[in-house]
């Protein structure tokens, strides 16, 4: 009898412990909790610590309130020029309204990621289809992602979450498109190089023509100046000769005769044969005659 009583007490204690354990739950730091009964949400505003629930009747679901980072595989989009692009991106989000999050996703993180991913894909598609390939590649990513976050925010609120960050991690061309783009780029660069070479040759030719014109003008000016100087020199020489002639006509005639003989001799070593009766010796005989 005593043994049965002890057994009943032990069973009662165990049952009580089980009931107590089933009646309490703990919310830790960095956690969110929601309590529901019969599919209806009872409460979703729990602070960290120990809380109570009705065993069997109440159900408690725990969620992480830290930031969730979801990477999405490459998606293919078409640009305004109907060129294909593979775009990789990620989204960072966290639960902002637990009740709405639970009602819209059933508390499933996978469902939240899938629905949020579709929203972001639609936004990227709307942006890419309005731009050329070059615009998509060269546009400021920060401005691009900022616009994406702003556009996606209302859809995220419908899921009870807030978007912390959206980033495009990679934009890549499919191989066949990449080869075609590279070919076009090479052709464009080649045409630009040919244009630059042609412009350079034209500029060089213009520079040469300008230099030749300048050279001709300088030579013409120099020739004119030389002729002017030579003329002035000849005039001065003639003036000097005239003055000398007027002072001593006989000496001037002798000087001119010497110059004539000098000019008539070609190279050193030439011999000039003159007659003693010639005009050359006239000037040598006159002094003797005068003596």
Contact 119, 148 (CB under 8 A): no
Contact 82, 55 (CB under 8 A): no
| CA angle (66, 70, 99) in 5-degree steps | 50
| Tokens (6 digits) for 260 | 């004539």
Q: Which domains does the chain have, with CATH numbers?
A: 2-64 (no CATH), 68-173 (3.30.479.30), 249-290 (no CATH)
* Gyration radius (Cα) of the chain, Å: 56
Kindly state the average pLDDT of the residues 45-67: 85
- pLDDT one-digit tens code per residue, 170-216: 888 777 766 776 787 788 888 888 898 888 888 888 888 888 888 88
pLDDT of residue 269: 67
pLDDT of residue 110: 94
Q: Given pLDDT bands bounded at 50, 70 and 90, which one contains residue 288?
A: very low
| Residue 98 burial (CB count, 10 A) | 21
Strand partners, 201: none
Which one of 28-32, 248-252, 255-259 scores highest in mean pLDDT? 28-32
Cβ neighbours for 121, distance < 8 A, ≥ 6 positions apart: 72, 75
pLDDT of residue 291: 40
Kindly state the average pLDDT of the residues 256-282: 66
Pairwise CA distance, residues 45 & 97, whole Å? 10
**Neighbour-count burial of 136, counting CB atoms closer than 10 A to its CB (0-12 exposed, 13-18 middle, 19+ buried):** buried
Contact 53, 24 (CB under 8 A): yes
pLDDT at 124 over 60: yes
- pLDDT one-digit tens code per residue, 8-44: 677 777 766 666 666 788 888 888 999 888 878 888 8
Pairwise CA distance, residues 146 & 167, whole Å? 9
Backbone phi, psi, residue 18, to 5°? -65, -40
Residue by residue, DSSP assigns the chain as -HHHHHHHHHHHHHHHHHHHHHHEEEEPTTEEEEEEETTEEEE----SEEEE--TTTEEEEEEE-SPEEEEEEEEEEE-TTS-EEEEEEEEEEEES-HHHHHHHHTT-HHHHHHHHHHHHHHHHHHHHTTS-HHHHHHS-HHHHHHHHHHHHHHHHHHTTEEEEEEEEEEEE--HHHHHHHHHHHHHHHHHHHHHHHHHHHHHHHHHHHHHHHHHHHHHHHHHHHHHHHHHHHHHHHHHHHHHHHHH-HHHHHHHHHHHHHHHH--STT------TTSSTTHHHHHHHHH-
pLDDT at 94 over 90: yes
Pairwise CA distance, residues 287 & 254, whole Å? 13
Q: What percent of the chain has pLDDT over 70?
A: 81
Backbone phi, psi, residue 254, to 5°? -65, -45
Pairwise CA distance, residues 151 & 120, whole Å? 9
Q: Given pLDDT bands bounded at 50, 70 and 90, which one contains residue 290?
A: very low
The reported pTM is 0.55
| Residue 55 burial (CB count, 10 A) | 13
pLDDT at 163 over 90: yes
pLDDT of residue 92: 94
Which one of 129-143, 151-165, 194-208 scores highest in mean pLDDT? 151-165
Kindly state the average pLDDT of the residues 233-251: 74
Nearest CA among 217, 203, 213, 115 for reference residue 159:
115
């Amino acid at each position: 009898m005593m043994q049965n009583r002890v057994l009943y007490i032990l069973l009662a204690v165990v049952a009580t412990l089980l009931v107590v354990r089933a009646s309490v739950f703990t919310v830790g730091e960095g956690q969110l909790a929601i309590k529901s009964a019969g599919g209806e949400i009872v409460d979703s505003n729990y602070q960290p610590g120990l809380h109570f629930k009705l065993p069997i009747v109440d159900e408690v679901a725990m969620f992480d309130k830290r930031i969730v980072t979801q990477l999405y595989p490459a998606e293919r989009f078409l640009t305004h020029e109907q060129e294909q692009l593979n775009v990789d991106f990620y989204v960072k989000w966290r639960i902002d309204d637990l009740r709405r999050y639970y009602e819209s996703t059933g508390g499933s993180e996978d469902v939240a990621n899938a629905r949020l991913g579709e929203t972001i894909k639609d936004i990227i598609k709307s942006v890419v289809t309005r731009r050329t390939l070059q615009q998509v590649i060269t546009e400021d990513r920060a401005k691009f992602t900022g616009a994406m976050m702003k556009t996606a925010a209302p859809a995220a609120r419908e899921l009870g979450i807030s978007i912390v960050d959206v980033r495009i991690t990679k934009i890549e061309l499919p191989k066949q498109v990449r080869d075609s783009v590279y070919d076009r780029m090479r052709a464009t660069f080649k045409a630009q190089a040919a244009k630059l070479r042609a412009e350079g040759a034209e500029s060089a030719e213009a520079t040469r023509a300008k230099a030749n014109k300048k050279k001709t003008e300088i030579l013409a000016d120099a020739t004119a100046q030389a002729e002017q100087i030579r003329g002035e020199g000849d005039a001065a020489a003639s003036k000097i000769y005239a003055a000398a002639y007027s002072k001593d006509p006989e000496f001037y005639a002798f000087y001119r005769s010497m110059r004539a003989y000098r000019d008539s001799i070609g190279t050193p070593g030439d011999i000039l044969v003159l007659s003693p009766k010639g005009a050359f010796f006239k000037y040598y005989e006159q002094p003797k005659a005068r003596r």
